[in-house]
């Protein structure tokens, strides 16, 4: 079992729809959770971080965390073609490995006009 797993995708949604990206993780001591967006050939860019159970909203983005189910998701409302990218889920287990992120394989999102 991979430490961080994302829905394999690719995910294709029409412009204006809600895109839902999912991620599960295996290490129960994980403390911090991140979503990065990566355009082709570019560096990963942090778009959301979440540390507590529940929802966290930032503009069109909502991150949801459920530590009991070891599940974190990212919702993108009113999806735009410019949201088309690879979305990476990353987890920090903290402890002695502070700062070490474990990434999922990424989900490719395509928003079509």
Partner 1 sequence: EAGVTQFPSHSVIEKGQTVTLRCDPISGHDNLYWYRRVMGKEIKFLLHFVKESKQDESGMPNNRFLAERTGGTYSTLKVQPAELEDSGVYFCASSQDYGTLYGYTFGSGTRLTVV
Q: What is the DSSP letter of 90?
A: E
Residue 29's nearest CA partner among 111, 92, 83, 109 is: 92
Whichever of 13 and 38 has its CB closer to partner 1, that residue is: 38
By CB under 8 A, name the one of 44, 76, 83, 111 that touches partner 1: 44
Place of tokens 């860019």: 45
Q: Which of 32, 61, 71, 108 binds partner 1 (CB under 8 A)?
A: 32
40 binds partner 1 (CB under 8 A): no
Give the C-alpha separation, 97 to 20, whole Å: 30
- Side-chain-side CA neighbours of 55 within 13 Å: the count stands at 8
7 touches partner 1 by CB under 8 A: no
Q: How far is the CB of 103 from partner 1 (least distance, A)?
A: 4
Residues that bind partner 1 (CB under 8 A): 2, 4, 32, 34, 36, 42-46, 49, 88, 90, 92, 94, 96-106
């Amino acid at each position: 079992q991979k430490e961080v797993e994302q829905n394999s995708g690719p995910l294709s949604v029409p412009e204006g729809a809600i895109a839902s990206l999912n991620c599960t993780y295996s290490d129960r001591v994980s403390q911090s959770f991140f979503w990065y967006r990566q355009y082709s050939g570019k560096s990963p860019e942090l778009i959301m971080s979440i540390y507590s159970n529940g929802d966290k909203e930032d503009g069109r983005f909502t991150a949801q965390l459920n530590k009991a189910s070891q599940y974190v998701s990212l919702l993108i409302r009113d999806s735009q073609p410019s949201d088309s990218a690879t979305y990476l889920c990353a987890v920090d287990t903290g402890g002695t490995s502070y700062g070490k992120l474990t990434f999922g394989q990424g989900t490719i999102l395509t928003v079509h006009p």
